Structure 1
Amino acid sequence: MTTDAQRKSPFKASIIARLGWIILACYVFYALNALDFTWVRFIEGLGNGAKFLGEMIPPNFERWNLLVENLIETIEIAVIASAFGIGFSLPIGMCAARNLMPDWVTWPARTIIAVCRSFHPVIFAILFVKAVGFGPLAGILTLIFLSIGFIGKLFAEAIEEISLKPVEAMKAAGAPFMSVLVFAVLPQVFNRFIGFATYQFDANLRNSTMVGIVGAGGIGGTLFAAFQRFDYDFLAAILISIIALIMLSELLSVKIKAIFND
Structure 2
Amino acid sequence: MAVSATTSQPRRLAFAPNWAMRAALLVLAIYTVWASTRLGLTWDRVVHGMGEGGRLLARMVPPNFERWQLLLEGLLESLQIAVLASAIGILISLPLGVLAARNLSPLWIAGPVRAVIAVCRSLHYVIVAILFVKAIGFGALAGTAALVVASVGFIAKLFAEAIEEISMKQVEAIRATGAGVMKVLAYAVLPQVSSRFIGFCLYQLDSNLRNSTLVGIVGAGGIGGTLFAAFKRFDYDFVAAILLAIIALIFLAEIISGRVRAALR
SS of match in other structure, 1:45? helix
Unaligned runs of 5+ in 1: 1-7
Which residue among 38, 42, 46 is the counterpart of 1:42?
46
In structure 1, what residue type is equivalent to 2:103?
A: N
3-state SS of 1:41 partner: helix
Q: What is the identity, as a one-letter code, of the residue corresponding to 1:189?
A: V
Matched with 2:112 is 108
The one-character-per-residue Cα deviations of 1:76-130 (angstroms, maximum 9, x if unpaired) are 1111111101111100011100011001111221111111101111110111011
In the alignment, is residue 157 of structure 1 matched against residue 161 of structure 2?
Answer: yes
SS for the counterpart of 2:86 is: helix
Aligned to 2:186: 182
Of 209, 222, 228, the match for 1:224: 228
4+ runs deviating over 6 angstroms: none
Look up the match of 2:213.
209
Number of the residue aligned with 1:4: none
Write the distance in 2 (CA, Å) between the matches of 1:104 and 1:149: 20
1:55-204 equivalences in 2 (<5 Å): 55-204=59-208
Distance in structure 2 (CA, Å) of the matches to 1:39 and 1:59: 31
Counterparts of 1:18 and 1:161, CA distance in 2: 36
1:37–1:190 Cα change, 3 Å: same
Two-structure CA RMSD over aligned residues (Å):
1.0
Task: Report how many aligned residue pairs link the two structures.
Answer: 252
Q: Distance in 2 between matches of 1:104 and 1:193?
A: 25
| 1:4-19 alignment, distance < 5 Å | 13-19=17-23
Deviation of residue 256 (structure 1)? Answer: 1.4
SS in 1 for 2:162: helix
Report SS of the residue matched to 1:31.
Answer: helix
Aligned to 2:247: 243
Structure 2: how far apart are the matches of 1:109 and 1:258? 33
> What is the alpha-carbon distance in structure 2 between the residues aligned to residue 167 and residue 80 of structure 1?
33
SS in 2 for 1:117: helix
Deviation for aligned residue 1:259:
2.0
Structure-2 separation of matches of 1:174 and 1:107:
27
> TM-score, normalized by length of structure 2?
0.93
Q: What is the DSSP-based 3-state SS (H/G/I as helix, E as strand, rest coil) of the residue aligned with 2:193?
A: helix
**Partner in structure 1 of residue 10 of structure 2:** none
Q: Report deviation, 1:24.
A: 0.7
Q: Find the structure with the greater CA-based Rg.
A: 2
Give 5+ residue unaligned stretches, structure 2. 1-13
Percent identical among aligned pairs is: 60
Whole-angstrom CA distance in 2 between matches of 1:139 and 1:82: 12
Greater shift, 226-235 or 101-110, is seen at 101-110
**TM-score, normalised on structure 1?**
0.94
Q: Which residue of 1 aligns with 2:37?
A: 33
Distance in 2 (CA, whole Å) between partners of 1:44 and 1:25 is 25
Residue aligned with 1:101, SS:
coil
TM superposition shift of 1:188: 0.9
